[in-house]
């Protein structure tokens, strides 16, 4: 008897909108944390919100890290593959077109979304990366991201997703052909609620 490939905590909210959203929480969050973003970004869109399966001091994450700011990149690759397989199963279960997801990730969720883009680009059509860091220090897999839209919204005072991190990430995405929009804010490691209407506008333009 095979295990259910969707046997990980998640929330599915159907909707008539054309853009299915994949919500990916930050460290210590869960599948409910980002659900309020739907009303701000795309109220009619179907939403799949997924919980990370790694625990760090009891806090859910999408992949392991060696210490703050240093990722276990082997685990990151494995967890990105695991999430890609989950998405394939979700597409079949919830009647979503293959690879139609727009990921909306915060912090750790943004980093797994970046890893998906670089390593499994067919899994996503677009991504909104909020407080995102560089997933692979030595450079990401040499994937092709032509046709993928990415919005990066990091804080200028973010001590983790620094200006250098942001610049490197944006450069890596563009080098692989992604159409990248930068939407910085003056805060730290968080989501600037004032920018959500502009994120929603970006989503509608896709």
Residues acting as catalytic residues: 107, 158, 189
Say how many CA atoms lie within 13 Å of 91 toward its Cβ: 15
64 CB-near residues (< 8 Å, 6+ apart): 54, 56, 71, 72, 75, 76
Which helix (DSSP H) or strand (DSSP E) does residue 113 occupy?
Answer: helix 108-119
Cα-to-chain-centroid distance, residue 29 = 14
DSSP helix, strand, coil percent of the chain (3-state; round to 5)? 35, 25, 45
Which helix (DSSP H) or strand (DSSP E) does residue 125 occupy?
Answer: strand 124-130
Q: Name the CA dihedral angle for 133, 150, 146, 112, rounded to a multiple of 10 degrees.
A: 40
Count of CB atoms situated within 10 Å of the CB of 160 = 15
Q: What angle do CA 1, 50, 46 make, to 5 degrees?
A: 105
Helix, coil or strand: residue 136: coil
């Amino acid at each position: 008897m095979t295990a259910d490939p969707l046997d990980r905590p998640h929330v599915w909210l159907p909707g008539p909108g054309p853009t299915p959203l994949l919500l990916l929480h930050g460290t210590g969050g869960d599948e409910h944390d980002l659900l309020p973003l739907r009303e701000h970004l795309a109220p009619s869109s179907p939403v799949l919100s997924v919980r990370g399966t790694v625990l760090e001091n009891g806090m859910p994450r999408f992949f392991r890290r060696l210490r703050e700011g240093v990722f276990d990149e082997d685990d990151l690759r494995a967890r990105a593959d695991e999430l890609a397989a989950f998405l394939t199963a979700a597409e079949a279960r919830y009647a979503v077109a293959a690879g139609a997801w727009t990921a909306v990730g915060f912090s750790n969720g943004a980093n797994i979304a970046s890893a998906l883009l670089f390593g499994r680009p067919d899994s996503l059509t677009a991504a909104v990366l909020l407080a995102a860091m560089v997933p692979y220090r030595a450079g990401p897999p040499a994937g092709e991201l032509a046709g993928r839209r990415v919005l990066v919204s990091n804080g200028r005072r973010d001590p983790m997703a620094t200006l250098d991190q942001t610049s490197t990430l944006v450069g890596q995405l563009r080098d692989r052909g992604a159409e990248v929009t930068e939407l910085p804010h003056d805060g730290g490691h968080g989501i600037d609620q004032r920018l959500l209407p502009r994120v929603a506008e970006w989503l509608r333009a896709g």
